Chains A and B, each alone.
Chain A
Amino acid sequence: AQSVTQPDIHITVSEGASLELRCNYSYGATPYLFWYVQSPGQGLQLLLKYFSGDTLVQGIKGFEAEFKRSQSSFNLRKPSVHWSDAAEYFCAVGGGSYIPTFGRGTSLIVHP
């Protein structure tokens, strides 16, 4: 069975600082990996996704993520965080069934 772990429930960073949100997955074959963002009071929106090819993928809003098969990880990064990046971030894995598996989310708090 596939699973996703986001080890950090909350992350606090200062505006302008770099960011890395962790995601570890368990899946038997090559996974389809996603990062979604949920702004307060809204639905989830895709940030980026990985299917194959280059292991460093670029997304919207200046985010990127790196797929590391040896570590079963798909961590999300941003070099300089803006106050508007404060949101809930979800990692997800798909491929084995009709149903994608979501992590429990990481809440990003940005201090001015």
Chain B
Amino acid sequence: NAGVTQTPKFRVLKTGQSMTLLCAQDMNHEYMYWYRQDPGMGLRLIHYSVGEGTTAKGEVPDGYNVSRLKKQNFLLGLESAAPSQTSVYFCASNALASTDTQYFGPGTRLTVL
């Protein structure tokens, strides 16, 4: 079991460029989440999904889009990157929503210049 994996681990973008972060889980979990972590801000939820083909906005969704075409994958897209999106991004999944343990990926460190 690989658990939750994230690709890539590091990325540097220029302002205005686009990219997609990939999250994959092999635990057959229904629920998947994208967070960003900034110093002093804790974890902030960007988007989440309660099942294949569904997505919903979290606390800070602006500037991001997501897709869940396959149950095991949850993609986070930045269409036009901004310096304010410099952050560490974490993907998580669980089987029973908020009453269940969340399993986190190792994170993607993104820098936007």
Contact = CB atoms under 8 A, between A and B. Distances in A.
Contacts, number: 62
Interface residues of B, number: 24
Interface string B1-31: 0001000000000000000000000000001
A60 B105 CA distance: 19
Interface string A86-112: 000010101111111111110000000
A26 to B, nearest CB: 15
A45 B104 contact: yes
A44 B45 CA distance: 14
B81 interface: no
Nearest to A43: B104
A95 B92 CA distance: 17
A98 B101 contact: no
B112 to A, nearest CB: 20
B90 interface: yes
A104 B106 contact: no
A98 B93 CA distance: 11
B26 to A, nearest CB: 15
Interface stretch (B35-43, B61-69, B70-78): B35-43
A92 B100 CA distance: 11
Interface string B25-59: 00000010100000011110100101000001010
A95 B104 contact: no
Contacts of A34: 101-102
Most B C-beta atoms less than 10 A away, residue of A43, A99, A102, A105? A43
A5 B50 CA distance: 26
Which 10 pairs of residues, A with B, have the shortest CB-CB distance? A94-B98, A43-B104, A104-B42, A100-B98, A44-B104, A98-B97, A32-B99, A102-B43, A46-B101, A43-B106
Given A42-B106, A44-B43, A98-B50, 20 more contacts: A9-B40, A32-B98, A32-B99, A36-B102, A43-B92, A44-B104, A49-B101, A51-B99, A94-B99, A96-B98, A98-B56, A99-B45, A99-B58, A99-B97, A100-B98, A100-B102, A102-B42, A103-B42, A104-B40, A105-B42
